[in-house]
Structure 1
């Protein structure tokens, strides 16, 4: 499959987890890809690593300019950079709320804002934002994180409405609990990591964590020119957690 042949994609948070999986899938399907991350990514012929801080507008604009200068244009943006947060609405102070929203929501705003002039020139422009099951279902101890991801989902629809006439499609993917480094760190802090992992797996109807690669393939669909009639949509990759109500096993 090479539907991305000749296209250039920028993926934030592209050094690890879901972002790294997205980078790999897009490259496999023919795209030239820039991985925008705080961490360095080893460059290859079709891969550019760009040190980027999505909380810094100047850093974001420099990164987008670097991608365009290197590859000659920009067609696809995957807004994937994000951080986690735990607790009820009362458990985090204003500074933490602002820190998480600065990355998870405003980071996407900055990247999209810098990319739009270039996307308007593309024949196959697409933006894919990474939302979360936390933005569509009520989960315990996730008030701040849920608020940030719910905002991403609302932003996605608004952007889709604003930019469809310009030929820019905007969609989001909403992963369930995914087997990523952040979840790994969360489990390490648990009193009983094995029991906590089992609980997270059982919460999803298909009985396991979502893989980063599964999310990446959904992102690739939404970003693909083959999905030219798909805009303003969120795809759940959550093992059925959002919509299925299965009887208990056993």
Structure 2
């Protein structure tokens, strides 16, 4: 950080700091980047393509208005991640985001009007059948609901309560929702606790073992059929401590 051109950083709209194989949000003038949130190389490339005055640190500081991967060395720097690996990253990012926005359990200072702020708790209501998550910002003293945000998974998307919480809370607080929350890749690996929809009848079951069994749809049953593809519809896995 000592050798970084601070003037360039100050003028930039968005700044990412590269650490090992990840990029961390360092500055966001538009509020669409989570400060301290971890982002993938793929996301940074996309973000730099579609936004102006994006700076990457450490190393040489450059204002990036073209793709980040401009040299052969940069293009070969990091192999492409699988869809499952990217989804896992996004889920972990969403968990950290919710914890931070909730002030690590210490409550939220919500501005009820120009002159007043109320100390609030965040309450989440998840409906797995309707595939929705509602975030309620409620006054600790009054119990009043000062703000509400809703997230709803599209019919073709796999529901994840952690991503839903992050989206709903950001909407309740009037914050921008990162693109990766809204366009997270679908899961491709079955794990214990996943909810699977399978077969012609559209049966639903929770994976309780990774051993193949006629009554338990594990990865063996994720072979895609043209008419009735088997798929994961919920990978929240809260019951197994994730």
Q: TM (normalized to structure 2)?
A: 0.23
Q: TM (normalized to structure 1)?
A: 0.23
More helix by share: 1
More strand by share: 2
